[in-house]
């Protein structure tokens, strides 16, 4: 850790300073990390973190079970350690969720200690959001000062899809936290030497390995850029850099692979079936359903991809993707280009602060561009909330880039890039909200005007340094106008997200949520079942006498019953209702052994890309051989009554 204290001008712009503030001794205006924290800095950071927490917690209870699929799995993990270890949907251990279990572990522990409720499931996600904002602030601050760190943290906190996921129990919350933490560790490795550099890099690799146990192959999209950053800018010798990277790769492999090895070696008969696979294989899930299948669209058994027909360079800027993540992507890309130009033109990378800054730019730049391109062109299932993974690099590049452009305000290219980024942010925000039918549609013209005004005032402040009194007045106005133009619309979408319920498998941030089927008694693939009191009473009656109180097709059908009644319910066919578990023969054995009390029929789509027909065979066998009774909108078949035939 470098202890050199930064000069007073490092943390913020001082327009009355000489136009030669980017001194010869510090090319590009880059200095060492800031030293002592001033009271105002502490206050601003506390305001950012407390404000983030208040926003993320506001009206959190409206989300109910949020994604009931993962809430049911957290409930199961709180009841049974085998279910906890494997990420089983129910604590009778029938089948796992279609992801590794890391994102379930913290909510499951929370449920174990605080009981099953909305807050025990979702507050851990909120805490992950606050931690992500702080870590991004800490990372950017170490190379660009506290004002840049605050801007980066603010952008992340107000990105609609990030807020949505930090109030929801999808894997994205933990994934974003782990990748943000890995970037911080990478920077510490770039700033350290010898064994300390290796220690920080090993920790970064381990965090990315945990990211693999959160959402598998997606986390690897940042690995090439992180490796390139260390290889090109670390303070150790070239040979050591290669060895350190190999060691970090080993740490990542150990952190990710030990669970895979455990699953592969564990006798299949004594663990839950691996959901999302057709062969009960974690390797198939890893490289198929959650791997190459996402890229080429060959997802056997997958359904429910509303975005499969929209791959292309503009995917993130069209449709609902635009309102989730695109707000500041144009500004971030402009600032990234300006940053590269300044670093190259000033040869700032030749000194230590410049190399550290460059390393972080490489890490975040490749993160944004690489992951963004994959999301844009992937042919398989992609949902809008996946774009939360882009929020940290967008926020970091905006904070770092804006700071660097201002530090080099004596260079026309720098100020033109800063002005262009502000106008681009205001223009694009207006373009996005112009097509929105809600209350902020009328903001389009105002946002553009504010951005133009802010950009022009910043140019004036930068190029008229001798008029100190005027600049001292105009600079805060320019900064305020620019921030409002850039952040007002995403902030409004974020606040609006907290005002309404977000539930189900597919969710969107913003004033109007489209594409999320409502909860209803009959259930469905993407609909969460809402059981009535009669159904809950039936499920609870004598539930202790059975391994499963009920079985039904599809996990969202099963989740509502399991969460509502507090009894294990088998999700036949897993999430999509297309996994070959259980087979008809296995199901008949369970019924004959008296392990399942009821079969519940629910509506579900089977327009899948292949997948097993066993769940359909089970449904047909039950309906042909047992008598159903309608209870609260659902049909219950008592499997303990001898079948009428077959």
341 part of a folded domain: no
What's the pLDDT at 513? 53
What's the pLDDT at 460? 86
| pLDDT tens column, 298-314 | 766 565 555 455 788 89
How far apart are the C-alpha atoms of 79 and 116, rounded to whole Å?
A: 10
Q: Quick one: average pLDDT of 287-303?
A: 74
Q: Quick one: average pLDDT of 93-105?
A: 96
Q: Using pLDDT thresholds of 50, 70 and 90, give the confidence band for residue 539.
A: very high
Q: For residue 24, is pLDDT > 50?
A: no
- Indicate the burial class of 117 (C-beta count within 10 angstroms; 0-12, 13-18, 19 or more): middle
What's the pLDDT at 33? 61
488 part of a folded domain: no
Q: For residue 609, is pLDDT > 70?
A: no
What's the pLDDT at 23? 40
What's the pLDDT at 441? 66
What's the pLDDT at 612? 79
Q: Quick one: average pLDDT of 263-286?
A: 93
CA angle 164, 431, 387 (to 5 degrees): 30
What's the pLDDT at 634? 87
Q: Quick one: average pLDDT of 174-199?
A: 96
Q: For residue 293, is pLDDT > 90?
A: no
What's the pLDDT at 120? 97
645 part of a folded domain: no
What's the pLDDT at 588? 95
What's the pLDDT at 511? 83
Structure-model confidence comparison of residues 282 and 511, the more confident one: 282
Q: For residue 509, is pLDDT > 60?
A: yes
Q: Using pLDDT thresholds of 50, 70 and 90, give the confidence band for residue 6.
A: very low
Structure-model confidence comparison of residues 22 and 248, the more confident one: 248
What's the pLDDT at 632? 86
Q: Quick one: average pLDDT of 377-398?
A: 94
Q: Using pLDDT thresholds of 50, 70 and 90, give the confidence band for residue 173.
A: very high
How far apart are the C-alpha atoms of 396 and 421, rounded to whole Å?
A: 14
| pLDDT tens column, 466-494 | 666 666 788 889 999 999 999 999 999 99
578 part of a folded domain: yes
**Closest of 126, 77, 129, 128 to residue 101, by C-alpha:** 77
Q: Hey, CA dihedral for 109, 115, 117, 123, is it positive or negative?
A: negative
User: What mean pLDDT value characterizes the chain?
Assistant: 88
What's the pLDDT at 309? 55
Total domains in the chain come to: 1
Q: Quick one: average pLDDT of 206-222?
A: 95
What's the pLDDT at 19? 38
Contact 204, 185 (CB under 8 A): yes
Contact 538, 598 (CB under 8 A): yes
How far apart are the C-alpha atoms of 240 and 67, rounded to whole Å?
A: 45
Q: Quick one: average pLDDT of 338-363?
A: 92
How far apart are the C-alpha atoms of 276 and 101, rounded to whole Å?
A: 13
Least confident range of 256-260, 267-271, 359-363, 602-606: 602-606
581 part of a folded domain: yes
The residue segments making up the domain with residue 593 are 533-638
What's the pLDDT at 524? 53
87 part of a folded domain: no
What's the pLDDT at 291? 80
What's the pLDDT at 466? 61
583 part of a folded domain: yes
Backbone angles phi, psi at 600, to 5 degrees: -115, 125
Terminal-to-terminal C-alpha distance of the chain: 73
Contact 349, 28 (CB under 8 A): no
Backbone angles phi, psi at 137, to 5 degrees: -55, -50
What's the pLDDT at 3? 39
Contact 450, 481 (CB under 8 A): yes
How far apart are the C-alpha atoms of 116 and 105, rounded to whole Å?
A: 14
Above pLDDT 70, what percent of the chain? 87
How far apart are the C-alpha atoms of 382 and 295, rounded to whole Å?
A: 9
624 part of a folded domain: yes
What's the pLDDT at 85? 97
Q: For residue 519, is pLDDT > 90?
A: no
How far apart are the C-alpha atoms of 595 and 592, rounded to whole Å?
A: 8
What's the pLDDT at 520? 44
Backbone angles phi, psi at 465, to 5 degrees: -70, -20
**Closest of 582, 581, 575, 584 to residue 604, by C-alpha:** 575
Above pLDDT 90, what percent of the chain? 67
Q: Quick one: average pLDDT of 203-213?
A: 97
Q: Using pLDDT thresholds of 50, 70 and 90, give the confidence band for residue 525.
A: low
């Amino acid at each position: 850790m470098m202890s050199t204290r930064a000069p007073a001008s490092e943390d913020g712009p001082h327009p009355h300073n000489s136009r030669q503030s980017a001194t010869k001794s510090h090319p590009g205006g880059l200095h060492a990390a800031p030293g002592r924290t001033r009271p105002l800095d502490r206050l601003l950071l506390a305001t950012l973190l407390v404000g983030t927490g208040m926003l993320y917690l506001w009206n959190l209870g409206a989300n109910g079970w949020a994604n009931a699929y993962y809430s049911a799995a957290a409930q199961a993990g709180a009841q049974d350690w085998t279910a906890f270890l494997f990420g089983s949907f129910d604590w009778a251990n029938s089948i796992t969720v279609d992801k590794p279990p890391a994102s379930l572990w913290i909510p499951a522990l929370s449920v174990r200690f605080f009981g099953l409720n909305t807050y025990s499931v979702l507050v851990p996600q909120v805490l992950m959001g606050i931690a992500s904002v702080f870590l991004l602030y800490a990372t950017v601050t170490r190379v660009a000062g506290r004002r840049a760190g605050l801007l980066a943290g603010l952008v992340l906190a107000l990105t609609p899809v990030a807020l949505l996921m930090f109030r929801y129990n999808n894997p994205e919350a933990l994934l974003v936290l782990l990748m943000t933490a890995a970037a911080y560790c990478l920077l510490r490795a770039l700033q350290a030497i010898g064994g300390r550099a290796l220690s920080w890099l090993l920790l970064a690799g381990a965090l990315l390995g945990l990211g693999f146990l959160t959402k598998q192959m997606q986390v690897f999209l940042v690995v090439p850029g992180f490796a390139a950053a260390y290889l090109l800018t670390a303070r150790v010798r070239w040979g050591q850099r290669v060895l350190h990277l190999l060691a970090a790769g080993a740490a990542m492999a150990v952190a990710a692979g030990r669970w895979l090895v455990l699953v592969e070696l564990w006798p299949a008969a004594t663990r839950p079936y691996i959901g999302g696979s057709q062969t009960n294989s974690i390797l198939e899930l890893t490289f198929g359903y959650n791997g190459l299948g996402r890229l080429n669209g060959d997802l056997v058994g997958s359904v429910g991809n509303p975005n499969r027909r929209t791959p292309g360079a503009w995917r993130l800027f069209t449709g609902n993707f635009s309102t989730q993540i695109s707000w500041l992507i144009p500004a971030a890309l402009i600032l990234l280009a300006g940053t590269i130009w300044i670093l190259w033109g000033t040869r700032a990378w030749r000194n230590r602060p410049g190399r550290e800054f460059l390393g972080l730019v490489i890490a975040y730049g490749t993160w944004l561009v690489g992951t963004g391109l994959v999301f844009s062109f992937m042919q398989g299932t992609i949902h809008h909330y996946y774009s939360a993974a882009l929020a940290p690099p967008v926020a970091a590049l905006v904070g770092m880039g804006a700071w660097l452009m201002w530090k080099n305000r004596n260079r026309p290219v720098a100020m033109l890039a800063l002005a262009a980024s502000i106008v681009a942010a205001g223009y694009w925000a207006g373009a996005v909200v112009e097509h929105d039918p809600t209350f902020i549609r009328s903001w389009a013209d105002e946002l553009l005007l504010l951005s133009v005004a802010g950009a022009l005032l910043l140019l004036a402040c930068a190029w008229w340094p001798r008029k100190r009194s005027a600049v001292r007045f105009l600079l805060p106005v320019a900064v305020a106008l620019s921030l409002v133009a850039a952040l007002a619309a995403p902030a409004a979408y974020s606040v609006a997200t907290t005002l309404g319920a977000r539930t189900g498998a597919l969710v969107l941030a913003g004033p109007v949520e489209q594409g999320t089927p409502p909860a209803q008694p009959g259930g469905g693939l993407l609909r969460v079942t809402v059981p009535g009191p009669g159904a809950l009473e039936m499920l609870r009656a004598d539930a202790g006498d059975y391994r499963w109180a009920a079985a039904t097709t599809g996990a969202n059908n099963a989740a509502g019953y399991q969460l509502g009644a507090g009894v294990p319910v088998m999700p036949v066919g897993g999430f999509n209702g297309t996994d070959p578990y259980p087979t008809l023969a296995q199901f008949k054995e369970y019924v004959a052994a008296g392990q399942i009390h009821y079969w519940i029929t629910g509506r579900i789509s089977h327009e899948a890309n292949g997948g097993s027909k066993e769940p359909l065979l089970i449904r047909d066998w039950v309906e042909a051989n047992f008598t159903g009774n309608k209870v609260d909108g659902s049909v219950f078949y008592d499997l303990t009554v001898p079948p009428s035939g077959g």
